Structures are given as structure tokens and as C-alpha cells.
Amino acid sequence: MFVGRVEELSKLKEQLNSKDKAAILIYGKRRVGKSTLIAEASKTFNGKVINYMCVQSTLEGNLTLMSRSISIALGIPEIRFQTLKDIFDYLGSQNGSFLFVIDEYQYLKQAGKKNEIDSYMQIIIDMLPSNVKLIMCGSYITIMKELMEEGNPLFGRFTEIMHIEEFDYYDASLLYPEAELRRKFENYAIFGGSPYVLSAIDSKKSIKENIIKLLLPETSILRTYIENVILKEIQKVYDIRIFQIIGNGSKKYSDLTSGLGGGGNGLLDKQLKNLINMEAIEKIAPINKLDDKKKQFYVISDNLMRFYFTYIFGNDMVIKMLGEEVFYETYIEKSIDEFIQRRFEGIVVQYFKRKVRSRSIKGVLNIGSYWYDDPKEKKNGQFDVVLQKEDEYLIYECKFFNRKMTLEECEDEEKQVKNIGNLGVIELGFVNLNGFEFESNKYSLIDGEMLLFT
């Protein structure tokens, strides 16, 4: 079942069905649905589709396998192409239209010297036959981003560049439409937005049952995916302790240096920069303190990875000794609600991003948290979700209560806002999963159902 990706699918179909040249770059983390998107879009392509998955081999090895893929797709005796250009020259000489998909391009790129393969592809794209459309796809984000750098031979050659990210909470919920309201948010908070991961969830079973089945056993499907796919790539170059220190929280640079034993800050800077580029971690800051290094924090980007490093990493022997069910009850059950609550604020940010992009809310300059100093109470703190406008703010406090929020609770929050002063607040709102005991023209009130109707 194909869900979500409405804008991406529309753009890709437009490229594939255009009479103009189409050389498309698609990149994104593993298992986010790049190949599924291409397959869905190619259903409307009026021609033959050739899919080739690059392998970690030499250029000659890839050419041999590529030749075989072409022969199978076209239903012809096997032809051995000597160069990449030979392939496109051949397709250009044939009748009909062709869509050539080169998947996991980073492996083909690594088969040559620096920029060698990119130079070949530059010539191919510049001379792309009118009856051939090309898609280059890859999941090593840092390598794929090199193709967009000014010094790369492929810079400026693509007719469309698409960065495919994980589903947000809304698109993720489309994969389990029958799940109850709270469960939709729990699924996203724990398992994240990878379509591959989400397709493994059984929403008829409890969160506890899914975690015990999919994440705790050493050979479980999602733990194997994390340890043998995601972490295997990261551990080759980066200190995995960075993720362990961050866990379910947000950590300052100083927290990381002390946690790693101090010293070597140059190496840590480089690792953090590269991990951000890989979309493994993010650097965040309140919208009113973007340039204040003391207010900058590092977080793990993916919810599933957050869960893994909060509860599973380093606990192999404990899980084996106690068994999965007892481990869950001892180490996870008591804090799972807090884990989910922390992710709920991010969901609300995604909700408002959708509202701004659809122009339901206009004039917004930035969305995020807001750091404040309360002179009256002599303390500081942070508002959960704030929409910044020109000299004005829309402030929303987020709650993941199992009950309705009361008027008194909202009024207490309002007092806190008034203590700050000089904010120019034009709207104060509250978001609570299970709604409110009251109606109000004074506050903007958003419940869980409203979050799912954007």
C-alpha cells in the first residue's frame, strides 16, 4: 500500500511524463521509501523501466550486472556493454522510451577514483538521448550530497533533486488507519517514520508486545536492522558513545566532551558535523537563541534510534539474563510514558509546519521552542512550541495527558507567560492529546484528533 509522499510523487510523475530531458537525483536515508516512490511513479511511465541496484564491486563488475539487468528488462539476449556511455548510446538507438533507474549510486561512484564516475555520468546526462529518462538514487547521504557541490562534475546537471525524508507523524499514521488515537502517536514516538520499520508494527498488539517482539530479542527484525545496517555504517568512522550520551534527551557540547572523557575537541567537532550531515543527529536551539552556543543542543534524529540508545544499547547481557518480558517490565515500563511525552512536542512542531506550508497559517518566520527568563520567579525555562511572527509570538504548551486538560491548568500556564513580559504574544494555545474540559474563545485549543486533520 502506497501512502503519503503526495508532493514528491507529483513532482516525479511530472518529470517522467514530460517531453523534456529528465535527469533526477533522489537521495535519503536507508529504508525511507525511495525505491517504493520510484516504483509508484514509474507506473505512469509510457515505456520500459530498467532498474539496476549498484553493488560494492569494481566498475567492470557493475557493468556486467548492469548489462544483465538491461537484457532482462528488454527481453533480449545478453549484451555486454564496455562503458556506461555505451549503455545510453544503445538505448538511444532503440525504438520506444526508457526509464533507467540507477539505485545505490554511491557504490558505483566509489568504484572509481574521485569524481571519475561522476564525470562519466556528466557526459551521459549532457548527451542524454531524448527517449531516455534517468534517475540516480542513493542512501549514503554525505556521498550523494557531493553531487550537488559546485566542484563536482554533476553540479547543475539534474532537472530535479529530491531529498526523501522519513514520514512525519501524519503520514506515518496512514499506515495504521485502524489504530486508536493514542496508539498512532505512540507508534510514531517509539518507532519513528521509516516506512520499513512502521510496516513491521502489528497495531492489533500492544506497544509492549511489539517492543518485546520487534526490538528486544537479539535476532528480532528491527534490532537486527539497527545493529547490522544503521550502526554498522556509523561505527566504521564515528564514536558510538555520542549516541549513548544523548539517548532520549538533548545534550550540550560540553556534555558530550565530558562524557567522552574530554580532550580531542577538534575530532568531536568533525564527527558531529558529519553525523548531522548524515541526518543521524540534529543540532537544535530555541528560536530566540539561535546564535547562543550555550543554548545549542544535540539530539538523535530518529525516534527508533532514540529508543534503542535509551533502553537497549549496552544491555545485551541483561536482556538475555532476565528475558525480554521481565526486562521490559523492569527497565522500560516505568519511563515509557515520559519517553513518548518528549516526542509529542516534536509532533506538534510537525503539525504547525504542515499548517504553514499549506498556508493555513500565514506570516510565520520560524517554529520551535522559546527560552525565557522569569524575573519574578527568578528562574528560566522553555516554552514548548512557539510560532514567531514579525515582533509577535504564538505560544503553545503541549501535554500528552490520558485525561482532558482543565481550565485551571491552562490559566496557570497563562500566568507564566504574563510573568515574562515584552513577548508581544498575540495567541496563547494548548495542545493536549485527550482534549479539554472546557471551550474557549480566549485560548487556541488543539486535541489529538485535530492533529490528524491537517
Q: What is the pLDDT of residue 104?
A: 97
Q: pLDDT digits over 27-77, tens only?
A: 999 999 999 999 999 999 999 999 999 999 999 999 999 999 999 999 999
Name the CATH architecture for the domain at 6-163: 3-Layer(aba) Sandwich (3.40)
d(CA 137, CA 36): 12
**Residue range 144-169: average pLDDT?**
97
**Residue range 321-344: average pLDDT?**
96
DSSP readout, 164-197? -----HHHHHTT-TTS-HHHHHHHHHHH-S-HHH
Q: What is the pLDDT of residue 260?
A: 87
CATH code, residues 342-451: 3.40.1350.10
Q: What is the pLDDT of residue 232?
A: 82
Q: What is the pLDDT of residue 166?
A: 96
The residue with greater pLDDT, 153 or 454, is 153
Is residue 328 pLDDT above 90, yes or no? Answer: yes
Indicate the pairing of strand 392-399 with strand 379-389.
Answer: antiparallel
Q: What residues does each domain of the chain span?
A: 6-163, 205-334, 342-451
d(CA 42, CA 93): 22
**Residue range 279-293: average pLDDT?**
92
- Is residue 145 within 8 A of residue 276, CB to CB? The reply is no
Is 321 exposed, middle or buried (CB count within 10 Å of its CB: 0-12, 13-18, 19+)?
A: exposed
Diameter of the chain measured on Cα atoms: 82
**Residue range 357-362: average pLDDT?**
94
Mean pLDDT of the chain: 93
**Residue range 408-423: average pLDDT?**
85
Residues in contact with 65: Cβ distance below 8 Å, sequence separation at least 6, in sequence order: 52, 55, 57
- Please indicate, yes or no, whether the overall pTM of this predicted structure exceeds 0.85: yes
pLDDT band for 264, please (50, 70, 90 cuts).
Answer: low
Is residue 454 pLDDT above 80, yes or no? Answer: no
pLDDT band for 424, please (50, 70, 90 cuts).
Answer: confident
State the fold for domain 205-334.
Arc Repressor Mutant, subunit A (1.10.10)
pLDDT band for 372, please (50, 70, 90 cuts).
Answer: confident
Cα distances from 425 to residues 221, 354, 386, 416, 430, in angstroms, run 48, 22, 10, 12, 14
Q: What is the pLDDT of residue 266?
A: 82
Fold equal for 6-163 and 205-334: no
The residue with greater pLDDT, 167 or 270, is 167
Is residue 375 pLDDT above 70, yes or no? Answer: no
pLDDT band for 233, please (50, 70, 90 cuts).
Answer: confident
The one-letter amino acid code at 7 reads E
Q: What is the residue whose three cell numbers read 485502524?
A: 178
